[in-house]
Amino acid sequence: MIIAIDGPAASGKGTLARRIAGHFGYQCLDTGLLYRAVAHDMLSRNISLEDTQAAEWAARSLDPARLDDPSLRLPGVGNAASVVARMPGVRAALLDLQRNFAAQEPGAVLDGRDIGTVVCPEADAKLFITAAVEVRARRRYDELIGRGEPVTYEGVLDEIRRRDQRDAGRAEAPMAVAADAMLLDTTNLAIEAAFDAAVGLIKRKIGQ
Ligand code: C5P
């Protein structure tokens, strides 16, 4: 069983993916962390984010055990991730890891931008999670302030807008709604209601 969850930055898809995986007893992979790990590796070695060869090398030598590093979640790393995520060689290097993860029994939940379209086009259920950009920015701002990060609401909003544009506009595996994806707009939904709605849609789709 494969559940694909895509959506723009700060749409809450990561939280939903983890909770959905817990509900069904599946493993969960936040694929954004893979691109963040590549970018973080480049940043920490002072390598230009435009250096395609170095980015591909970082992607090929990525250590999945390091994906729980909290510094991967910093806002600057998300932005840098969307720069290296444009590179076809980087995406190709991360594909097997994602598909192997998806193949495990009894099931897997993967969240990202291209899960339903490129990584797992055969997924049993596909969700595309959206929310108004101002609402996404507000949620991300509150989360970052709660962690003591020195951010402004306008800065977060601007960063999310630029990242969404880059992710949707790139040539390789752009963020897109798969033809058979179910849309869930969480603009007016708290996390509990969004979770209930997501589980309802998935159950209907997989016939449970
Ligand atoms: O989901 P998250 O915000 O952590 O992703 C960071 C960046 O990684 C995204 O902005 C996007 O550029 C890239 N990404 C991607 N494909 C995925 C997941 C993330 O290109 N499946």
pLDDT digits (tens, 9 = 90+) for 127-146: 999 999 999 999 999 999 99
- Give Cα 173 distance to the centre of its chain: 13
Mean pLDDT of 54-78: 93
Q: What is the pLDDT of residue 208?
A: 72
Residues paired with 127 in a beta bridge: 5, 182
Instruction: Give SS3 for 87.
Output: coil
Is 179 exposed, middle or buried, given 0-12, 13-18 or 19+ CB atoms closer than 10 A?
Answer: exposed
What is the C-alpha to C-alpha distance for residues 45 and 65, in angstroms, rounded to an integer? 19
Q: What is the pLDDT of residue 106?
A: 97
Mean pLDDT of 41-56: 97
pLDDT grade for 74, boundaries at 50, 70 and 90: confident
Asked if residues 130 and 186 have their Cβ atoms less than 8 Å apart, the reply is yes
- Closest CA to ligand 1's atom 8: 32
Closest CA to 20 of 35, 30, 9: 30
The dihedral region occupied by 177, where left means phi > 0, alpha psi between -120 and 50, and beta the remainder, is beta
User: What domains, with CATH codes, occur in the chain?
Assistant: 2-199 (3.40.50.300)
Residues paired with 29 in a beta bridge: 110
User: For residue 113, how far is its CA from the centre of ligand 1 (angstroms)?
Assistant: 6
Q: Is the CB of 167 under 6 A from ligand 1?
A: yes
- The pLDDT tens digits for 84-134 are 999 999 999 999 999 999 999 999 999 999 999 999 999 999 999 999 999
Pocket test for ligand 1, best of 113, 128, 166 (most atoms within 8 A of CB): 113
Instruction: Give SS3 for 192.
Output: helix
pTM, whole model, 2 decimals? Answer: 0.96
